[in-house]
Each structure stands twice: as C-alpha cells, then as structure tokens.
C-alpha cells in the first residue's frame, strides 16, 4: 500500500510563548544549518517548519519571524557540515554573506552556500513584523556533479527563480513542499533526482560552464523543462513537436532524441497529456453540464472525431460512455439526497 512522503512538521505554537524560541533553537541544532540566532521576537517566536525527506535531498519549508544568524567555525565543528544549502526566498528579504561575497534576495530569488564555511544571514519582513518564509534544500556534497572549488564563486550569491531553469526549479520546490500529501514515499528518490538535476543545471549556467554538468544531468533537466512547457501549453491547438523545439532553442531532431529513452515520442506525450486532462474533466461532477466538445477543445482537441477515436484507443470506451459511467452514480446519489431533503422539508 502506498504511503505519503516522509515528513515532519515542527510548530512552535504547540508550546507556551515563553518556550517557543528555545524550542526553535533546539530544532535548528539538529540540522546542518546550526547557527547562533538573534531576533526581536524571542518572547513569542511563532514559527513553523515542514521537513520532507527525499533521500538524497532534504527539503524544509520555513515560516518564522524576522531574524539574523551567524555560523561560526565552532558551530561548524558541532554539526554535520558536508552539505550545501540552496534557499528560495518566498516572503521578506534575505541577505547572505560567505567568503566575502554577499547576496540580497527578495521573493523569487535563490541563494546558495556551503555549510562547512562560516557565514552570516538575515531574513526580515518588510515592516519587521510580518513573518518571512522560504524553502530550503539541504544537499550532500556528493549529490552534485560539480566540485566545491567550481561552485565557490556562487556562494552567497543571488540567482533568479523567476526565469529559465531557475523558474522551473522554484516552481518545482514550491509545489512539492506545499502539497507533499500528493506524492508517495516510493517516489522520493525520483523526486529528489529531478530536483538535483535542475539544481545542477541552474548552477552550471550561472557558472557559465554548463559543460561541467554531465550530459545525462543536462538531458534530464531539459526533459523536465520540456514537460513543464507542454503541460502549460496543452490548450494551444498549435502545440506541436516543432513549436516545443523552437521554444527551447533546440532542433526538432534533438528534441526527438531527448525522448528516445522515455519510451514515447514528443507527439505521443502531448496527446497523452491532453487525453489525461480530458479524462479528469469528464469525471468531474462540477463540469457535468459542460459539452464534451468544449472539454476537448479546452485541452487542444479541435476535431471531434479525432478526439473520440484517440480517447477510445487510450481508455477503451467513448468519452460519452466514460462520462456516463463516472457521473451517473453521483447524479443518482444527489437526486436521492434531494428527494429525502424534500420529504423532510414537507
């Protein structure tokens, strides 16, 4: 039986206000990010952290009051330091300092640093009172294909999470950390792999040395970009292998080669994603009054006969039969409930 991703929620509101900051410091001591923290909210430190264990990578979604932190060499010796930290600012302004480099991060920005080196950081709300939030990834050294020496120029720098691979990575981390209940424990390693490929590719591009990233890592990262693009453009009837290739500045031949290891083609992937969206809508009681052709058109099928044939080939029955089989029981239940309510009313 499938189980959800392994996660742990840490909420200081479970204890009295006077003990909240101390509880937060105890939690922090158990992570690779052990720091000495200062805050003006120590008397009532309302904070929440949700930890997701993905095997090769750990994600933490934080919400906490404004604070400042410093990680000294003594603190490094007291913690497991063989990690990188990638932090995405969601709310507030973060400032990171390491090895003489400084990055100022606003919502949508990433910063990246090495847990084995001293550092300083601050994260403050706009007015000093609003809570701030972030998504943090703890990444073991050996999970990235780039050496610490190669990555050093990026420590404490700012990287955009609103464009290119950075935007795809930010969206991935936000969705995964916001809805972990939608994923299964058996998928943890695969989910981490996708995230690490995107991280490696983003870092490689900021180093202007993408060749330092192994070919297979770059291939998987590009594949994730292509899939995301397809899902966002499914309603566009003009979506095609050629338009996908053009959007990613690769040749059509290269795009087809990208899918060779996926046991499908680009065109088949587009068709299957469209059919899956149609299938979901046809089984949705809230869309029960929407014409089938309107649902098909919403997801890029403009020809009624073509849609019907493709749906029947994929699911073994016509769209009409599929909708009737899934919605009729719901309508019967609703009708019966209405009858009962009417009898009780009169």
Mean pLDDT, range 44-52, rounded to an integer: 95
Cα–Cα distance for residue pair 89/104, rounded to 1 Å: 10
Contact assessment for residue 241 and residue 226, using Cβ atoms and an 8 Å cutoff: no
**The domain boundary residue, chosen from 206, 232, 258:** 232
- Calculated CA dihedral for residues 128, 129, 130, 135, nearest 10 degrees: 60
Name every residue whose Cβ is closer than 8 Å to that of residue 41 and which is 6 or more positions away in sequence: 21, 65, 66, 67
Q: What is the mean pLDDT of residues 112-141?
A: 91
Interatomic CA distance for residues 279 and 289, integer angstroms:
15
- Is residue 329 pLDDT above 70, yes or no? no
At 248-292, the pLDDT tens digits run 888 888 899 888 878 889 999 999 999 999 999 999 999 999 999
Judge if 51 and 114 occupy the same domain.
yes
Spatial contact of 221 and 165, defined as CB atoms under 8 Å apart: yes
Residues 189 and 295 in one domain: no
| Cα–Cα distance, 2 to 5 (Å, whole number) | 10
pLDDT of residue 2: 56
Q: Is residue 238 one of the residues assigned to a domain? A: no
Tokens in use for 136?
Answer: 């943090």
Give the residue among 295, 291, 287 at the shortest CA–CA distance from 326.
Answer: 287
Q: How far apart are CA 98 and CA 155, in angstroms?
A: 6
Report pLDDT digits (tens) over 8-27.
Answer: 999 999 999 999 999 999 99
Mean pLDDT of the chain: 87
192 in any annotated domain: yes
- Work out the average pLDDT over 159-174: 92
Phi, psi torsion values for 109, nearest 5 degrees:
-105, 145
Residue indicated by tokens 């990233």: 213
Judge whether 216 lies within some domain.
yes
Is the distance from CB of 206 to CB of 242 less than 8 angstroms? no
| Contact indicator for 164, 210 with CB cutoff of 8 Å | no
Task: Yes or no: say if 95 and 105 are a contact pair by the CB < 8 Å rule.
Answer: yes
What is d(CA 145, CA 221) in angstroms, rounded to the nearest whole number? 13
In tens, the pLDDT along 49-63 reads: 999 999 889 999 999
Per DSSP (E only), the strands in the chain are 7-11, 36-38, 48-53, 58-64, 67-71, 83-91, 93-98, 101-105, 109-114, 119-124, 132-140, 157-160
Q: In which order are the strands placed within the sheet that holds 101-105?
A: 36-38, 67-71, 119-124, 93-98, 101-105
The CATH number of whichever domain residue 281 belongs to comes to 1.10.10.60
Which residue has 């999470």 as its token pair?
161
* Same domain for 168 and 34: yes
Instruction: Identify the H or E element spanning 27.
Output: helix 17-29
The pLDDT score that the predictor gives to residue 297 is 94
- DSSP code at position 277: H
What's the pTM?
0.65
Q: Is 68 contained in some domain?
A: yes
Task: Determine contact, residues 96/86, Cβ cutoff 8 Å.
Answer: no
For residue 73, count other CB atoms closer than 10 A to its CB: 9
Q: Are 160 and 105 in contact (CB under 8 A)?
A: no
Q: Rounded mean pLDDT of 232-244?
A: 91
CATH number at residue 132: 2.60.120.10
Q: Give how many domains the chain has, as a whole number.
A: 2
CA distances from 111 to 123, 149, 234, 268, 344 (A): 12, 17, 33, 38, 62
Domain boundary among 175, 207, 232: 232
> For residue 265, what pLDDT is reported?
92
Please indicate, yes or no, if residue 256 is contained in any of the structural domains: no
H/E run at residue 191: helix 188-206
Domain that holds residue 202: 7-232
Specify whether 186 is located in the same domain as 285. Answer: no
Residue 117 is given by DSSP the state S
Percent of the chain residues past pLDDT 90, beyond the cut: 60
Would you tell me how many other CB atoms lie within 10 Å of the CB of residue 208? 9
In what side-by-side order are the strands of the sheet with 7-11? Answer: 7-11, 48-53, 58-64, 132-140, 83-91, 109-114, 157-160
Give the pLDDT confidence of 292-328 residue by residue, as tens digits.
999 999 999 999 999 999 999 999 999 999 999 988 6
**Is position 162 within any domain?**
yes
């Amino acid at each position: 039986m499938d189980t959800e991703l392994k996660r742990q929620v840490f909420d200081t509101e479970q204890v009295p206000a006077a003990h909240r900051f101390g509880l937060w410091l105890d939690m922090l001591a158990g992570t690779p990010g052990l720091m000495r923290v200062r805050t003006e909210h120590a008397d009532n430190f309302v904070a929440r952290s949700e930890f997701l264990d993905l095997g090769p990578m750990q994600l933490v979604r934080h919400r906490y009051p404004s604070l400042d932190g410093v990680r000294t060499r003594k603190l490094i010796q007291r913690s497991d330091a063989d990690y990188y930290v990638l932090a995405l600012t969601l709310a507030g302004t973060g400032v990171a300092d390491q090895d003489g480099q400084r990055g100022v991060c606003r919502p949508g920005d990433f910063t990246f640093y090495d847990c084995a080196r001293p550092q300083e950081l601050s994260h403050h709300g706009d007015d000093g009172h609003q809570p701030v939030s972030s998504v943090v990834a703890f990444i073991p050294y050996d999970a990235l294909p780039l050496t610490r020496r190669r990555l050093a120029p990026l420590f404490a720098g700012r990287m955009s999470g609103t464009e290119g691979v950075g935007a795809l990575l930010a969206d991935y981390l936000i969705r995964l950390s916001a809805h972990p209940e939608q994923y299964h424990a058996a998928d943890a390693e695969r989910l981490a792999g996708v995230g690490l490929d995107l991280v490696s590719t983003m870092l490689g591009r900021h180093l202007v040395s993408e060749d330092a990233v192994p070919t297979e890592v770059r291939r998987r990262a590009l594949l994730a970009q292509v899939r995301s693009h397809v899902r966002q453009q499914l309603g566009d009837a003009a979506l095609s292998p050629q338009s996908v290739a053009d959007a990613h500045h690769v040749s059509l031949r290269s795009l087809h080669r990208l899918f060779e290891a996926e046991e499908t083609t680009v065109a088949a992937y587009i068709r299957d994603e469209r059919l899956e969206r149609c299938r979901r809508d046809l089984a949705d009681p809230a869309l029960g009054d929407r014409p089938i052709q309107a649902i098909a058109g919403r997801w890029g099928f403009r020809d009624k006969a073509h849609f019907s044939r493709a749906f029947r080939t994929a699911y073994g029955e016509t769209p009409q039969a599929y909708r009737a089989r899934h919605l009729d029981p719901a309508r019967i239940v609703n009708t019966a409930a209405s009858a009962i309510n009417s009898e009780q009313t009169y």
